Chains A and B, each alone.
Chain A
Amino acid sequence: MLGYAGKLLVIDLAARKTEARECRPDFLRNCLGGRGLGAELLYELCPPGVDPLDPSVPFLVLTGPVSGTPFPGSSKHVVVTKSPATGGWLDSYSSGHMAPHLKYAGWDGLVILGKSERPCYLRIEDQKVEFCDADFLWGKDAFETERWLRENISSHGGKMTIGPAGENQIRYACINSDFFRQTGRGGAGAVMGSKNLKAIAVNGSGGVRTADPQGLLEMLREAMQTVQRSPGAQNMSRLGTFMVVDVTQTAGMLPTLNFQRGTFPRGVGRIDKEGLEKIKISDQACASCPMPCGKLVELAAGRFAGSRLEGPEYETLCLLGSNLGIDDLSFIVKANLLCDRLGLDTMSMGNALGFAMECFERGFLTREDTGGLDLRFGNQESALELIEKTARREGFGSLLALGVAEMARRIGRGTEDYAMHVKGLELPAYDPRGAFGAALTFAVNPRGGCHRRAWPPAKEILGGVPPYTVEGKAEMIRGMFNDRCILHSLIVCDFHAGLIPLRMEYYARGLTRVTGEEFNLDRLRWIAERTETRIRLFNCREGFGRKDDRVPRRILEEPLPDGPARGQRIGREGFERMLDEYYALRGWDPQGSPREETLERLHLVR
């Protein structure tokens, strides 16, 4: 099928051997690529029940049929593996030049197995693969590592690197690409570290053949014209995800002081678009994107003067800002930069700090526990010191390195009520009490507390759907999951569909022009339904079920004390009802396990 390379590069790190694995069209027609392809491969290749950091766990870097084509937003790659944060399914997306260069090199993706005896990095040039010694890179931060690769291997092409956090297998270690792009969530960097794999560099000199290249260029121009006319896309181009701070602040769902409050009045004009205007030096787009949402910033003055960053993104603004009671954008930039260099997910790191601060203020942690650090909300110095210590598992940092679920288990005394996570993955920056759909999204997301597979604020805050009810939310979330699944299988950036906006039919048309085979939206939605159930089967096999599709007690029972959503909480009854309805819509039983007739309908074998 056109668009695809038709084969995966299988790399055995222990034996230092490689082979090509063919991907036949009849296989690809049912899973497309990206998330869908990853679901099939992980189910097949990952031995059930093993520790996520065991050498037998496969580490997949995948593209999709539109990667490396003129399709807008097509420079995304995905890492699929078993999550060190949850012990379940993990897919984590990033951008940069990995996806196009894998395709230029003639591969739909990498299947990395085993563990290298010594630290190594992989150098892939078209069909050639080299296992290179990385002893001298071990210990270097992610930026130093990428810089070395750029200077000594290739100044362009795809790069993936881990920092000390990945080497130390911190359960929320990320992978960096093009310096500032991360497969942030779920600990993909720890899996790389567990394999002694410091970095990957890919350069491809070939191209990606498509059925209708001129037609694809026309579609690209169509997207560009829509961007010019669209207020949403223009805002995104100017402000990036900074603009989301206003959305959640206004809706009263901006997590503040570890989700104790839903608004952060002190942050207005400081950690939002007005703050951005003072430090922005340029917009940045990913390759193939007509909507440059990336913001390059530089701190011109102050104690962190000279810090340069692409970002911070919304989630970081909140989780290292309002959620810690910090209204200083300079601090957020600095902390973000530190996390990037060390290879830590800013979102889980922010949660771990917020949780520790709440425990400290409530007396569950003392200066004795924290190594003398004052951990009250708002303490920037302590936060910066702890980020460094977390990545290196030093002192009190070794507790934060465990993530909030395990931290609460160790601290005990009922502190799990303040641990904001689902399945072990810390929550993103949306308090579901301000828009109830988020509670279901977080609960049923197979990788844990995550906002990337559905973004209900688009409907509940900006789209006129009533936010403070569970009514109709299961249907809404299921539809959003399916559409995102299509986008994440192609793989394209999911900002375009919602913000430019590009209709789902646009994607079906594009896929047809890439592959030369007719794909309509019904077909794509069937594939999405199939993929979501395949991933559910994976998690069921790992022991997950309804008991794990939970949100923290605070969200269910504690009314929000402030803001427009004041007094709101989801309530147990309503939450269970959303779960029941969601499972029923998916064809899963009340325990959340896919029914036999569902598997049959979706051509799935357990």
Chain B
Amino acid sequence: MKRIQVSPRKCVGCELCGIACSVTRGGEVRETGMRIRIKRQFPERADRPFQPAVCRQCEKPKCVEACPKGALLMDLQGEIVRLDEKLCDGCGACVEACPFEAIWIDPQRRMAVKCDLCRGNPECVRYCQFGAIESPFAP
């Protein structure tokens, strides 16, 4: 399965991954445009202060099931859940369905936002100095 490999204990919460993602995909920093986001859990959780949230490209994706427009679908190799922006109307059914809180709605574009691994060359991982996120593809 191809997905961003996450090691939460290595994350320090710098959010450079999300910043790079947002700029690469949308030309500017916008939290609402980030396809990877850091959940800050300290002080409640000392065992895992930071939890990077990013699409796990599930084998049986709940979001795909939930989408009433058919805008989310598994690609042909069965590896990456893709969003067809032309079909998405930002209804948010996918957000409710995702058990990992790893898909969001961009209120400005009225569109779902999710990781599609930058078509095989994920930009975010280049900005993690700590190995908290890693690419599933061979370098």
Contact = CB atoms under 8 A, between A and B. Distances in A.
Interface of A: 68-70, 100-101, 104, 156, 178-179, 204-210, 213-214, 216-217, 220-221, 224, 227-228, 281-290, 292, 294, 296, 298, 308-310
B139 interface: no
B49 A288 contact: no
A391 to B, nearest CB: 20
B22 A282 contact: no
Contacts of B19: 70, 220, 287-288
Nearest to A72: B16
A316 B123 CA distance: 39
Interface stretch (B39-47, B56-64, B92-100): B39-47
Given A101-B31, A207-B29, 12 more contacts: A100-B29, A204-B31, A207-B32, A217-B23, A217-B24, A224-B129, A282-B9, A282-B12, A284-B13, A284-B50, A287-B15, A288-B19
Contacts of A206: 30, 32, 108
A306 to B, nearest CB: 9
A309 B43 contact: yes
Contacts of A204: 31
B128 to A, nearest CB: 10
Top 5 A-B pairs ranked by shortest CB distance?
A207-B30, A285-B14, A207-B28, A292-B12, A308-B43
Contacts, number: 102
Nearest to A213: B23
A179 B43 contact: yes
Given A296-B46, A310-B42, A70 B23 contact: yes
Interface residues of B, number: 32
A294 B49 CA distance: 12
A69 B42 contact: no
Contacts of B42: 179, 282, 284, 296, 308, 310
Contact of B27 (A178, A213, A284, A288): A213
24 contacts: A70-B19, A70-B23, A104-B30, A178-B40, A179-B42, A205-B30, A205-B31, A205-B32, A207-B28, A207-B30, A213-B23, A217-B23, A281-B46, A284-B49, A285-B13, A286-B14, A287-B13, A287-B14, A288-B19, A292-B12, A292-B14, A296-B42, A296-B49, A298-B46
Label chain B's interface by main secondary structure.
Answer: mixed
B70 interface: no
Contacts of B15: 285, 287-288
A297 to B, nearest CB: 9
Contact of A68 (B24, B27, B29): B29
Given A208-B28, A296-B46, A308-B42, A288 B20 contact: no
Contacts of B33: 207
Contacts of A208: 28-30
A207 B26 contact: yes
Nearest to A289: B14
Contact of B49 (A101, A205, A282): A282
A296 to B, nearest CB: 6
B108 A220 contact: no
Given A290-B129, A296-B49, A298-B46, A210 B28 contact: yes
Interface in B73-120: 106-108
A206 B33 CA distance: 9
B43 to A, nearest CB: 4
Contacts of A178: 40
B107 A205 contact: yes
Contact of A220 (B9, B16, B40): B16
Contacts of B106: 205
Contacts of A284: 12-13, 42, 49-50
B56 to A, nearest CB: 20
B18 to A, nearest CB: 8
Contacts of A205: 30-32, 106-108
Given A178-B40, A205-B107, A104 B129 contact: no
Contact of A290 (B14, B23, B46): B14
B126 interface: yes
Contacts of B43: 179, 308-309
Contacts of A224: 16, 127, 129
Contacts of B26: 207
B17 to A, nearest CB: 11
Contacts of B22: 207
